[in-house]
Structure 1
Amino acid sequence: MQIRRQIFVKSPHHQQSIALQLDPTQSILTLSNLTSLLEPSHRISLSAFTLSLDGKPLNVSTRIKLSTLPPVSTLTLHPRLLGGGGDGGATGAESRDCYLKMYAEKKPDKVDPNEQRLSKWLNCALSNEPLAEPCVVDLLGNLFNKEALVNALLTKKLPKQFNYIKGLKDMVNIRLTHVAGGDDGVLGDTTSSRFQCPVSGLEFNGKYKFFALRGCGHVMSAKALKEVKSSGCLVCHVEVKDCDKIVINGTEEEVKLLRERMEEEKAKVREKKGGSKKGKNGVAVVDAGVKVVKRQMDDGNVNVNVNGNGVSVKKFKAGDAVPVNATKEVYASLFTSSKKKSDFRETYSCRSLPLGRN
């Protein structure tokens, strides 16, 4: 006796289940058999669905023996999810270039502003390592580990932004005051500092303005210098002028003022080095940079006149060095430079005699 088997179809397009009658003469059930039963009679396109029979997914290679099926089975149709990338669906991009650009651009990593600020105040501006004594500050207020800066100068590997640092005279040794009981290790906490003002106790973390004093090297807050009226250092009492205060990690305007002050100081040094000097003949050379003129003056090749406006150089002429008992015109005639060029005519082989004699 043949058992008649039914398959109920659950589809999202039909509110009620569809019953399919299977041919009892068939022994094998395939996906093509189900397609032939569903598409013509029930107007269902299986290309938009994936199928599962009694919870088991079906594909083209699936073959089911009818003898193993229960009398009543359930065939479920699951809608395919179109699009999403890589399958020809919508990408949300206006064009392919826009789509590629969307993934090609790498978004910058977010940096904690507190950590960035604290790193600028507690790390070397050159090596980015934590500040460790001995420390120095340049004339523009940048902090360095002295060893790292000196090594960069010796190996000539100093970055271009620090090319104004030529030697030890362009850096100031500083004394940082450690926080009592503070951690001198690697930077970890983005809200605390390892240094403080020796007078007010304010933390050296970028929230407050600090100055480095060129005379003694002590670093203290602007608040302490403002509240305590004194013409000297508040720690060692060394005399301090306004020009000796270097603001640390200042604003653009403050750095601009420091740069102007630095250029003025260098100009004064150059002017001092280029002051009046005396040659072997006792003639004052105002511009010491003109070394060639001075050397030629010593050799007697040029005549130098010194006045209030500088040095005037007179070129050598044969007529100015006439030997004793010699006629000036005769002596000058030995040199072609003593006659005007218009008085001579040159040939292809040699210089000619003066006009009127050939």
Structure 2
Amino acid sequence: MGNDGGSIPKRHELVTLKAKAERPDKDSQTEARWQRCALSKEPLREPIVACRLGRLYNKESVIEHLMDRTKFGDGDEIAGHLQSLKDVTVLKLTKNPSYNQSEVDELESGAGGGGSAGAKYICPVSLKDFNGKLRFVYSLVCGCVVAEAAVKQLSADSCLGCGADLKAAVAAGAAVPGAEFSSAASVWVVVNSTVPEEIARMRASVEAIRIARAEALAAKKAAKKAKSAVGATGGKQLDAGKKRKDVDDADGSQQHSKLAKKQAASQMSNARANISIPLPLELEKKTSSAELSKNQSDAIKSLYSKDKDKPKGNYLTMGTFNRYTSY
């Protein structure tokens, strides 16, 4: 049965224990949150954006999620609060001058030696690595990312990264659509926070912003609807006035046309009466010789005389000024 030679078995060698559940590596989780997109799980590449919950995304992945919410399996669980690009802020990250991508590739492949190649981004004030070991915050006004310790220590009213006036943003009340700041500290959002109280406060802020935007949109639609209703009423009144004016104009034009027709008819009758007046020759043919001789003068009678009544004249006037007719 063994035990020869003085060997004594231990308990774990004799008793089979229940296997312990594997615990996720905290370092791997931290690396995934700070160096990979929360949606696509791919390495972060510029432009990098962050939501008001402090999660990091590739902007390309956010656009794809907004276009198709089924593209990523856990997209609604992670970024269900994102409704548009207004819900994210483009980050301004300070690159680490000592960062070498080739060393990182060697470390990931296992060909490199021990040690760390450093973080890709650092704090512009304290020069600390942006790798999750220290708390970092970003500004909703300008998107600059700095270490939280630097913000608390300096407590400046301007951005530590670009010098933007945070005090003016707080006074304006809404530097970002839907975001209201009560103090300069409320401008900063913690990146990848793990404190439950902070996460709950961030979620409440996101929900308040969503409700405020919905109310503003509803008020805008109601105002637009009321304006269109007023415009429709005014348009109906204008149409009614125009119709009345058209009727009046039609009546006036009809009366004017009738009057014009009457005047034209009277002028036409007068013209016809003038045209129908017989000419002297026609009148002479239609009237009898007695009436003609009675009404005509001696000069006319001399022109229309018979041969026997023909006046005597010389050869110069003979047949020139005399007219002969027989009737």
TM-score, length basis structure 1 = 0.46
Q: Which of 196-205 and 236-245 deviates more?
A: 236-245
- Map 1:167-206 → 2, pairs under 5 A: 167-184=84-101, 185-186=104-105, 188=108, 192-206=118-132
2:211 corresponding residue in structure 1: 267
Match of 1:142 among 55, 61, 66: 55
- For structure 1, the 5+ residue unaligned runs are 1-90, 94-98, 284-294, 296-358
Percent identity, please: 28
Q: Within 2, Cα distance between the matches of 1:112 and 1:270?
A: 41
1:166 corresponding residue in structure 2: 83
* Shift in Å, 1:152: 2.5
Q: Within 1, Cα distance between the matches of 2:38 and 2:122?
A: 19
1:120-176 CA-partner distances (Å, limit 9, x unpaired): 211111122221111000111100111122122223325221211111011110011
- 1:199–1:220 contact (8 Å) kept in structure 2: yes
Q: Within 2, Cα distance between the matches of 1:131 and 1:194?
A: 10
Q: Within 1, Cα distance between the matches of 2:27 and 2:229?
A: 67
Q: Within 1, Cα distance between the matches of 2:25 and 2:201?
A: 30
2:147 paired with 1:221: yes
Change (3 A) 1:197 1:261: same
1:154 corresponding residue in structure 2: 67
Q: Within 2, Cα distance between the matches of 1:109 and 1:256?
A: 28
Higher relative contact order (CA 8 A, sep 6+): 2
Change (3 A) 1:111 1:231: same
2:264 corresponding residue in structure 1: none
* Shift in Å, 1:263: 1.4
2:160 corresponding residue in structure 1: 234
1:287-341 CA-partner distances (Å, limit 9, x unpaired): xxxxxxxx9xxxxxxxxxxxxxxxxxxxxxxxxxxxxxxxxxxxxxxxxxxxxxx
2:245 paired with 1:245: no
Q: Within 2, Cα distance between the matches of 1:274 and 1:115?
A: 45
Q: Secondary structure at the match of 2:146?
A: strand
Q: In angstroms, what is the RMSD of aligned CA positions?
A: 3.2
User: Rg larger in 1 or in 2?
Assistant: 2
1:159-214 CA-partner distances (Å, limit 9, x unpaired): 22121111101111001112122133557467842221111111112121111111
Q: Within 1, Cα distance between the matches of 2:209 and 2:23?
A: 41
Q: Within 2, Cα distance between the matches of 1:170 and 1:224?
A: 26
1:320 corresponding residue in structure 2: none
2:134 paired with 1:208: yes
Q: Given residue 177 of structure 1, which amino acid in structure 2 is its aligned partner?
A: T
Q: Given residue 261 of structure 1, which amino acid in structure 2 is its aligned partner?
A: S
Q: Within 2, Cα distance between the matches of 1:167 and 1:281?
A: 31
Q: Within 2, Cα distance between the matches of 1:206 and 1:120?
A: 8
Query: Which has more strand, going by share of residues?
Result: 1
Q: Secondary structure at the match of 1:172?
A: strand
- 1:118–1:193 contact (8 Å) kept in structure 2: no
Q: Within 2, Cα distance between the matches of 1:129 and 1:113?
A: 19
2:26 corresponding residue in structure 1: 113
Q: Secondary structure at the match of 1:274?
A: helix
Q: Given residue 145 of structure 1, which amino acid in structure 2 is its aligned partner?
A: N
- Map 1:1-358 → 2, pairs under 5 A: 111-156=24-69, 157-158=71-72, 159-161=75-77, 162-184=79-101, 185-186=104-105, 188=108, 192-240=118-166, 241-250=184-193, 251-275=195-219, 277=223, 278-279=226-227, 282=230
Q: Given residue 135 of structure 1, which amino acid in structure 2 is its aligned partner?
A: I
Change (3 A) 1:172 1:227: same
1:27-52 CA-partner distances (Å, limit 9, x unpaired): xxxxxxxxxxxxxxxxxxxxxxxxxx
TM-score, length basis structure 2 = 0.50
Change (3 A) 1:220 1:92: closer
Change (3 A) 1:173 1:109: same
Change (3 A) 1:190 1:163: farther
